[in-house]
Amino acid sequence: MGKDWRDPPTPPSGAAAHFAYSRVPRDRLWGVLFGLVWAAAIVGGIYAITHRNPAFIRTDYTDPTSCPYTPNEAHRRLLEAMAEEGKGDWSFSAFMHLTGRWLLVSALLALGLGVAFIHLFKHHAGMMTRVTIWGQVAFPAAAALACVVTGQPLVGLLFGGVAALAAFVFYLWRGQIELATRLLGVSAHGLAANPGVITATIALNVASMVAIAPLCVFLGFAFMNGKAVPNPSRDPGAATCITPDGQQVLCCSWQPNTYAQVYMSGGMVTLLWTMLLANQIRVFVTSGAVAQWYFAPPDALCAPRGTTLLSFKHAMGPSFGSLCLSSLVLTVSEMLRSAMENAQQRDSEREFNALMLVKVCLICLAQCLLSILEYITKFATVMMAITGEAFVAAGRHVTDLLLRNLLNAFASTIWFTPMVIRMACFMLSLGWALLSGGTYWYLHRSSAGVEATPGLNAAILGASVYLITQFVLSFLGGILLSVLDAVFICWAIDRDSQTVSHPEVYAVFQAVPIPGAVVEQPDGGVSYGAGQQQAAPDGPHLYQPPGVAHV
């Protein structure tokens, strides 16, 4: 008999250090809970379909027999605009006929731009970093100059202050920026060495859409469980369906019954949990594949085969319960954020008082705590992908690891590198859109007799190209950020272990000061002592956190 795919894999020859190949199931109860919640959502959705009220579709909410429908001004203008369609200068069909080939070619070239995007960060991370830094300083400086020229010195002073503050912060953080730049280069190398991560991410996104589609359908049918009731916005004493202010409204509205309200509340939570679970699986698979590449032995010049598939098996097998728990934590965090935002919106409509000030302060504090929780949860998932620990244990260990690398963690994974990637996505997308639209306008500017609006067509083409390119680059940028998070944790583990798991990677960091071994102090604290770099490990072994991690 062949080996079952669920059996713990035997570490391959030349296996990665610090990476757990043989794992045991963790947090299985949470995986069972997710399965039960999902099954309940499916059963409840089927019940909602079979008990839906056909009156939801058949009801005439304008009730023309009792209140003749009279279009309001906005609706009348919409009808007039639709009636005039085709009489104006611009036509969508003509636009697609003239620019369709341009749009298709630009979209295909945007994929090539995505490859160039990874190449630039792989081989020219320093240049990309400098360009984004200059952009962060140059844009507000240019705005300040423009305001001064146009006679708005106060606004110009404000923009100038922003530019000066940005320049000061970048100068102050130049050491951490150098580390972040090197991490960006290493993460781009990691993504290039693990092309299966991109394919797996696309497949997981498609699978998540398939998983959430039934829930969306069930939520729609659940809303049909109810009845039509008089519109509460109507003026009961009016002869027509208008509000007390005289605005026309529908005569009827749909009121879901109690079952529908309960199911939709639970269904929304299940939907959010499923979406966040899919994202956690993506982070887990990416981190596991990158960790196997990062901790590969010196003679492994490229990632071993099957790293992405192995990480996926770990995610859907031993660590599935832990991923369900981590995604549930994120779900609760999102629900709390939504509740606080709703509370802020309600308070904004009331008169300000001291109690509201206290509430705002508490909400700000809660938002900070939730951000910290989400940040730790993300890196706990990375640690689970490497060590196979349970969620709580991984969270405790990675918290200690982040505290020992707090300054580098803030600059590399919280603020600076995400800003670099997002700014690079924006600048490349904008540049490609301007080039596409500008080229189209230049070639069609003298065809006024054939093309009615070459300028408008060029503008719409440029906007469309920008959206497509931004989507492609943001997708790759999101993967690159996930790889970056994994690379940072792997690098921090190397710092703790004082090992050089991958000399090619270590060469990238040789200009970054790395302290000696982790030393536990008599009072229980942990610090880095002076010491020499150790050689690469002889064979695969699990990462053992310092003693404080077990407290």
What gap in Å lies between CA 185 and CA 433, rounded to an integer? 26
What gap in Å lies between CA 324 and CA 30, rounded to an integer? 6
Indicate whether 5 belongs to any domain: no
Question: Directed axis angle between helix 92-123 and helix 416-444, to 10°?
Answer: 140
Grouping H, G, I as helix, E, B as strand and the rest as coil, residue 240 is coil
Indicate whether 494 belongs to any domain: yes
Indicate whether 523 belongs to any domain: no
Residue type, 367: Q
Q: Per-10-residue mean pLDDT for the chain, 551 residues long?
A: 47 59 87 94 90 72 47 39 44 65 76 79 80 84 87 85 87 77 80 84 86 88 82 70 74 81 92 93 92 74 72 92 95 91 77 78 89 91 91 91 70 71 85 84 69 73 84 84 86 77 62 47 47 44 47 31
Per-residue pLDDT, 510: 54
Number of separate domains in the chain:
1
Closest by CA to 507, choosing from 292, 185, 286, 192, is 185
Task: Write down the number of H helices and E strands in the chain.
Answer: 17, 4
CB 88 within 8 A of CB 403: no
Indicate whether 551 belongs to any domain: no
Indicate whether 529 belongs to any domain: no
What is the domain extent for residue 356?
28-65+96-512
Per-residue pLDDT, 505: 61
H/E stretch holding 155 reads helix 153-172
Give CB contacts under 8 A, 24+ apart, made by 248-251. Answer: 248/70, 248/72, 250/61, 250/62, 251/61, 251/62, 251/63, 251/66, 251/67
Indicate whether 212 belongs to any domain: yes
Per-residue pLDDT, 298: 62
Residue type, 201: T
Indicate whether 550 belongs to any domain: no
Closest by CA to 510, choosing from 526, 496, 494, is 494
Question: Directed axis angle between helix 320-348 and helix 307-316, to 10°?
Answer: 70
Indicate whether 16 belongs to any domain: no
